[in-house]
Structure 1
């Protein structure tokens, strides 16, 4: 069997590599092609890390004769010829998928290159699979709030009707033969959006498999009088997800709150940089807080960083969920809803504030929250049902379940080549 994997930054490369390994365990002769589409991700940039064994091919706008004149994929396609530019994408997609392929497996499906790969796969009879990469996935309209995105949303129907560019479906609604969901709650959301429930398999989150063994092996809280804090950076302002002002205010809350909290005892802050962070965050905190600050560039697994902390501070990072699973207290510094470019992104922040986690909207609240967490774990009031709806079952078998669902699809009379 031969599979094509499509990754776009984030943890998609690791997730797909894990599923690849699980498929190889069941079908050792399987071959894999990894298609890296991250160069098309103009919003967050970064790179895809794929530790698998498959052949790797990277596709970029330049490969398809598309010039990145702006930060918008849509505008770049229009300026590069509109329908003609999209046909070049289709030709490139067909060349990437040349030869028999039993399934096209992807974690994202909302970029133009991804829609082209889906069309190319269907044209040659290859079934497609959407593999949910992690929690906090928005199904349905993103509901833009920023003026730029509102204008883009208003123009989208005109573009669709004009035929200049194809419509971009909502996440998971591109007509996949199989959707591998994290939980029953996500299956229900997809069903409500029109996906046949029979085409949705429940697996969990593959990258959370490691948490199953680690949560029983995470070291006890570090000893000593010094409070060890871990701050999970999210470069959401640089990516246009929230306003620059709101991001700066959140850093101010953290810096001032930590300086105040230092009066209760020694504190050391470890700042874990995001893979797509510029490093400005650590510079600002170093300049504006009086406590000891160290940098974690993200080379060690996040689980190790969480295990070394007494308290994890963040906004709406999935790392906060991982911290809860690993039994580490969390303190949330929320971004105001009005500051988000899209309401669907704001929904993630709102969700976290409803789970029962301690919240700090001001420096005073952050200092008092840390004071409380010095003697309490802060986990007793967490809504575990809400958390499980996002994480799915964490039993170390999510990757295996995803692989079995994909192999079952391929084994069907109408699946594969």
Structure 2
């Protein structure tokens, strides 16, 4: 599908764009700020006329002091942008099938236990902002299915709130909770947010408001304590509210208060969270391997369908691996890949060998391409019936491959393996899909 997206260059937008293009096979069309200037409506209309889905993530950062000027920017970057999208949609002859418009759990009353069926909303600027944002989105043409997503705190180690919390922890080995520490902390893992967006696109029965938060209800202090355990901090301390009120003024309210938010409608729709609790968030990756492996059936030619980029394969396409079982029980490995160049391609081959050091764990192999320096080769998932596809990793999160006996893999099998990798805790946004000719 063609998916138009505002906020595509932001923290969430970058992750979501990669996810939808690499795993969903969609085409993402960024809607830059220039499209929403006065006099540019014609360009916006023309772009939306060729799109199946609109995802509206536009919005200035909320975690700054709310001066009158910044409040106006927060309003304009959300409500004005949404208004111009709706105006353009009304002018498009063939309407997009779906519009997903972001909002936030700040819509709800502070400290309340709520879900999508809660009718009351909170007091204050943040709630008013979310209400106006959603009200504008609800003017969406009736022929376009509308989904409004209320985000909790979106977590990923490579940016956003989690990176801001990790920096001082890693520098001081002390985790900090925002006072009083008892306030609820509604959150969602970035991978689940991306999966939920794909879920809305593929499930045409979904419409209306959905809370994008993990099912677990935790406090700010509990979250900080679990993060401290995971990153081996010496202690967890509570930073007084007055510190944040001094730094942020009125904006400190979104840090020092919270809502107990449940994703009721999302779960009712059949969505399953890969990261439902902080224990799973901080647990790390599951590197357990298949329990049985018939080496004779595993031998032969495998095509590389997707991988984590690594220095040995950087820029290579048409990548294959051929395994041959030797009489002594070791395995001959031949890796081949090409780089596209003009006037002709440059292909190269690397030869190595592999072994199974522990016969009780046949899915754990060791591979060497240089003397006796071995790397892990873990068969994580395998088509046990026909040995037609496999998910391969290592003892760390550095490597991940999807392999197939054929140059192309059916979409349903791709999704099955990506889901298996996500369930294990892998960041599947890092997967690169490899050209095979």
Q: TM-score range by the shorter chain?
A: 0.3 to 0.5
Q: Which TM-score applies when normalising by structure 2?
A: 0.32
With CA pairs under 8 Å and 6+ residues apart, which has the higher RCO, 1 or 2? 1
Q: Which has a greater percent of helix?
A: 1
Q: Which TM-score applies when normalising by structure 1?
A: 0.33
Bigger Cα Rg: 2
